[in-house]
Structure 1
Amino acid sequence: MKNVRKFVGMLLALVMVFSMTAGAFAAENVTITAPAGSTRTYDVYQIFTGDLSGNVLSNVKWGENGTGKAGEAVAKEALDALTAVNSLSDTAKLTEIKKYVDLESTAIGTVSAEHSLDVAPGYYLIKDNGPVNDTEAYSLYIVQVVGPTTISPKTGTTTSQKKVKDTNDSVADSTTGWQDSADYDIDDAVPFQLKATIAQDYNNYKIYKLTFHDKEGAGLTFNKGSVKVYIDDKEITSGFEVVESPSDDDTFEVRFADLKQIASVQAGSVIRVEYTSTLNEKAEIGAEGNKNTMHITYSNNPNDEQGSENGKTPEDTVIVFTYKTVVNKVTENPDYDKSKDSNNDGIDDAGHEKYIPLKGAGFTLYKKDSSGKYAVVGDELKDTDMTTFEWKGLDDGDYKLVETTTPAGYNTIADIEFTIRADHQIKSDNPELTSLTGGDIFTGTVENGTLEADVINNTGSTLPSTGGMGTTIFYVLGGILVVGAVVLLVARKRMNDEK
């Protein structure tokens, strides 16, 4: 009997120890951690505390950041209201949840990849503090009943892109697809494209603002009337505005006050803007090119019900190149002595150059179109003292140079046909002009975009004559005959008068 009592006493002691241990386990803190490698920090707000069994929280009391008094029991009506929104979307759930948390109060702690946080079992709101990089967004508030938890933020990525098309006027059907560089003639309308891809978490936003920012160099003139906007390849004509010369130094902006008002927009939608700008007389010639840069700003915080916080995509630049042709009019220098050009460099030992500038010429440049016909590129270049002729702002293609005014005493040159060819990177974040040629006649220089050639005029020929004084004799004999005829006429008149 004594042994039985001892056994019962030991059993009761074990039960008490187990009960105490179970209570201790129930009261133990749990750990919230951030993903490894994450650069973001997260504020943790305690809404409720309670006893946790699986995902069920019982004996629920107000937490440090709840809207009730910490430690007091939460009314059944509040818990029923929260339970009722379980089947709704995350944004709809948050509308109800935010009624019970004071986000102006001090969070109970912060979590990062380097710092976890131990908290009592309960109901917590986790706020993403960033930092948010280009194309990224803040996570929607994470709210959950917390056992040991690793934060899994739900964020989306918004991206943008800018492209240009290229056309060779001398070749039929030569317009390219969208790429990063092109070349055009001055006065050509250059086609551009802007694109934005909407983030995957778009549905988490109540208002979603988006703006295309476009900035052009002085060599491009924006054509506002050319703007067309597409949502997933279908053109729209409302829901946006085009603003020229906004205060932030952009050339123009295409603004969407709230994409949520356009029913066809959804997560992953592609918004496309197409327009033209004209290459003008201020265009940069050569490798510098005429740059056109864009980026977009967009709503990046789904917790901001006004959509006023803006993310920004990296700038994307395309370049439009153009070139110039320079013709130097020259003729042979009569003082040049080839036999004394010891270096064979076109300058004799006395310093006389083989060719010297020639005045009095005039040239007209023509460009071949895709049908094979030539059209004039500007007016004839001509001036009494002009020896250098320059055509600025030329595209690649086929050309013909015609001497339309020839210096007196010189032979007109044959028409010169040549082709401008240029290579530039069409798929690059930093497109560059890599080569420039003009056939056998012209020498191309990439840096300044110049194709230059010396065009030589040869003097006319003094043709040989024979007979020496023969012409003079004819003049003298003719004079004598005229005088004789006059004398004869006078004599006959006198004879008639005497009769």
Structure 2
Amino acid sequence: MKSLMKKVFAAAAAIATVFGLAATTVATANAADNATLTVSTTDAKFAGKTVNAYKMFSATVSGKGDSKAVSYTLTDEWKLFFTKTTLDGLTGVTNENVNDKANGYVSQLKGSALLTFATKASNWAQTEANKNMAKATTTVSNNLTDGKYTATFTGLDYGYYVVAVQGATLANTSNEYATLVSVDSTNVNANIKGDLPTVVKKVQVDGTGKDATDAKIGDSLTFTLTSTIPDMSAYNTYTFNFKDTLSKGLTFGQVNSVKVGDTTLTKDTDYTVSTSEGSDKNTLLTVTMNDFKNRQQANAGKKITVTYTATLNENAVVGGAGNTNSAKIQYSNDPSTNGTGESEPSKVRVFTYGFTVDKYTGDKYDNAATRLAGAEFTLAPKSGTAISFVQVTAGSATANAVYRVAKAGETGTTTITTPANGKVVFQGLENGEYTLTETKAPAGYNKLASAIGVKVNGQNNVTDTTDATVTITYNNDNGSSYNQTASNGVIPVQNKSGAILPGTGGMGTIAFTVIGVLVIALGVAWTLKRKNA
């Protein structure tokens, strides 16, 4: 009899031991279920997002400390998951034994098997078929607290929960999709698992993706938008669109390709392209993925990349914060409502620069110096041909003349003429070395003996709130050593007046010649008179 009783108590203790927690006493009812679960993340893209907590097992807790024991009971709503879902290693499940089978199955999971289980559980809970499943809901904070964004559930029953951020259908860096957490005390903390769709926008420079670049007006630029195909198991249909906003300074060209890995997709079959005008005359580009779940679910986890071109145009911001353009992913975030969300924007900046020529005469360069109109210049890349410019502002006695680099197809001029105030602004230049040549001096002045070398060097820290730092240096002999810095980007160019130089054919020589002729004539007359005498 003693032996039989020992076996009964041993069996009871084994039943009370689940998920690797040893029970030392038979579990009794909880004194109170009023738990707080706090999930947190350092990732800003989760700020403001909805988090759901699904109770898979109810829990009964007894004892404290080393004597604490927890027993779990599968909730009715989750019985269908264990009886109908294919779970590796789980067999022989019936309606009668599902609780014991579920307890035993989950308690032995570890490593990749546990991560796979979390994925299936979170996807199943979020499907449209289970949209009425009981869940606790809260929102991730928009502000950092101790370096984290947090979401807090209060008044929870003790239990084993599947916690999922709505729309987080991508694995995080640890290959986890959702948080599995045992709430078996009044305060429990856990980390948000899973990831949301994102996009990375780059501008291609010499085959390398950059967050910023410089260019001259008229240059064609290539941009890439890269995202990851999500796991769409929980969805019947899935929205996945690239939405790009090009600044007014960029003219959209064309989408060159859309690729999944190395496979090129087909336009108008796998995706469509559309553009529209934004409220401030910018361009809104949308690449819509067609029938995305059916076509791409098998490629979940692979990279998808859009490549397109755009041209820097006459509306480009010169210097300053540059020309900022950004991209987002519009994606499904709720299987039960077909709702969508948008990713955090990924931004790229394109910079273009300029400088001013100030034409003057006199020994001193200051505001009082005389400015000269009518000087003509060309500007060319070092060892290159003259750049064609379009006049933006003609200039006057009080206004600068402004010229920008001409775009392809525009009728421009390579000859730039100074206005009455002597100042000409060259705009739309990329970083590099240039040759500024005076081809004609103002009337009454001498043309420069040599060209001027100019170097444009713009630097930025790639944040879209900081202006670029532009340094213009120059020399007066078109050499490679730029030993002078243009204050505020202004290069002073001096002309000297064309004074008449002294000559040997002046009136004094003529007078001596006349006198000489008279002397000779008088001498001849005197000689003739003597002969006749």
For the criterion TM > 0.5, the same-fold answer is yes
Q: Distance in 1 between matches of 2:252 and 2:264?
A: 20
* Aligned equivalent of 2:459, options 423, 446, 449: 423
Which of 294, 311, 318 is residue 261 of structure 1 equivalent to? 294
8 Å CA contact retained: 2:321, 2:464: no
Judging changes above 3 Å, is the alpha-carbon distance between structure 1 residues 320 and 267 closer, same or farther for their aligned structure 2 residues? same
Residue 338 (structure 1) aligns with: none
Whether contact under 8 Å (1:184, 1:395) holds in the other structure is: yes
1:208 aligns with 2:222: no
Q: Contact (CA 8 Å) 2:360, 2:371: kept in 1 or not?
A: yes
Is the contact made by 1:136 and 1:311 (CA closer than 8 Å) also made in structure 2? no
Q: How does 1:340-419 map to 2 (within 5 A)?
A: 353=368, 355-368=369-382, 372-378=383-389, 379=413, 380-382=415-417, 385=420, 387-413=422-448, 414-419=450-455
Amino acid in the other structure paired with 1:240: Y
**2-structure distance, mates of 1:319, 1:142:** 37
- Aligned pair 1:161/2:194, yes or no? no
SS of match in other structure, 1:459? coil
Shift of 1:191: 1.9
Structure 1 SS opposite 2:39: coil
SS in 2 for 1:260: helix
Q: CA 1:443 to 1:299, structure 2 compared with 1: closer, same or farther past 3 Å?
A: same
The match for 1:321 is 351
**Contact 2:273/2:285 (<8 A) preserved:** yes
* Equivalent residue in structure 1 for 2:309, among 262, 266, 276: 276
- 1:404–1:152 CA distance, 2 compared to 1 (3 A): closer
Question: Are 1:195 and 2:195 matched, yes or no?
Answer: no
CA distance in 1, matches of 2:351, 2:183: 61
What secondary structure sits across from 1:400 in the alignment? Answer: strand
In 2, the alpha carbon distance for the partners of 1:294 and 1:186 equals 22
CA RMSD of aligned residues (A): 5.4
230 and 108 in structure 1: CA distance in 2 versus 1, 3 angstrom threshold: closer
Cα distance change of structure 1 residues 98 and 260 upon mapping to structure 2, 3 Å threshold: closer
Q: Spell out, residue by residue over 1:76-96, the C-alpha distance to the aligned partner (whole angstroms, 9 max, x if none).
A: x9949x99xx9999489959x
Cα deviation 1:416-463 (Å, max 9, x = unaligned): 12222222235x576652342323466456xxxx63111111122422
1:384–1:440 distance in 2 versus 1, CA, 3 Å: closer
Letter in 2 for 1:363: F
Q: Secondary structure at the match of 1:374?
A: coil
2:492 equivalent in structure 1:
454
Q: Would you say the 8 A contact 1:203–1:267 is kept in 2?
A: no
C-alpha contact (below 8 Å) 1:64/1:108 kept by paired residues: no
> Which has the higher Rg, Structure 1 or Structure 2?
1
**1:64–1:359 Cα change, 3 Å:** closer
Which residue in the other structure is 2:113 paired with?
none
Distance 1:375 1:205 in 2: 59
Q: Per-residue CA shift, 1:21-76, capped at 9, x if unaligned?
A: x9996895798978653597646579999xxxx9998xx9x78999xxxxxxxxxx
Residue 296 (structure 1) aligned with residue 329 (structure 2): yes
2:156 corresponds to: 116
Q: Secondary structure at the match of 2:293?
A: helix
CA contact (8 A) 1:316 1:429 kept: no
**CA separation of 1:226 and 1:436: change in aligned 2, threshold 3 A:** farther
**8 Å contact 2:355–2:472 — kept in the other structure?**
no
Is the Cα contact below 8 Å between 2:198 and 2:228 reproduced in 1?
A: yes
Q: Match of 1:157, as an amino acid? A: L
Aligned residues: 397
- Contact 2:56-2:162 within 8 A present in 1 as well: no
TM-score by length of 1: 0.62
CA contact (8 A) 1:367 1:398 kept: yes
Contact 2:40 2:191 in 1 (8 A): no
Query: Residue 434 of structure 2: SS of its match in structure 1?
Result: strand
2:259 corresponds in structure 1 to 230
CA contact (8 A) 1:242 1:255 kept: yes
d(CA) in 2 for partners of 1:215 and 1:108? 37
Cα pair distance change 1:475/1:421, threshold 3 Å: farther
In structure 2, how many angstroms separate the alpha carbons of the residues matched to 1:134 and 1:432? 38
Moved more, 184-193 or 247-256: 247-256
1:243-271 superposed Cα distances (whole Å, 9 cap, x missing partner):
10177986211121442233486232111
Tell me which amino acid in the other structure corresponds to 2:258: V
**Tell me, which stretches of 5 or more residues in structure 1 are unaligned?**
1-11, 67-76, 167-174, 334-344, 479-499
Percent identity between the aligned chains? 25
Distance in 2 between the 1:45 and 1:235 partners?
43
